[in-house]
């Protein structure tokens, strides 16, 4: 198990989880979700390549349209 920081809160997750898997576990693997991984915005095409490590920081936002 490892500890990451997700939107400012500590979360314990299984080691070797990639970013795509983690977002899917939160029901956030969909369009309109932006992810910052250790200060870098990650495109959707790169989510599966980012393996989460102990101490990583994630900021995840959901884009909402309105008028």
**CATH number of the domain encompassing residue 46:** 3.10.20.30
pLDDT of 67: 65
Name the pTM for this structure: 0.86
Report the domain count for the chain.
1
Domain span at 49: 2-62
Q: What is the pLDDT of residue 36?
A: 96
Residue 9: predicted pLDDT: 98
Roughly how many angstroms between the first and final C-alpha of the chain, as a whole number?
43
Give the integer Cα–Cα distance in Å for 53 and 65.
33
In a domain, 29, yes or no: yes
pLDDT at site 59:
97
pLDDT digits (tens, 9 = 90+) for 11-67: 999 999 999 999 999 999 888 899 999 999 999 999 999 999 999 999 999 888 776
Per-residue pLDDT at 31: 86
């Amino acid at each position: 198990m490892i500890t990451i920081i997700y939107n400012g809160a500590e979360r314990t997750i299984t080691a070797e989880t990639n970013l795509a898997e983690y977002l899917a576990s939160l029901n956030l693997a969909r369009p309109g979700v932006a992810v910052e991984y250790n200060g870098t915005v990650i495109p959707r095409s790169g989510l599966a390549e980012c393996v989460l490590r102990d101490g990583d920081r994630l900021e995840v936002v959901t884009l909402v349209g309105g008028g």
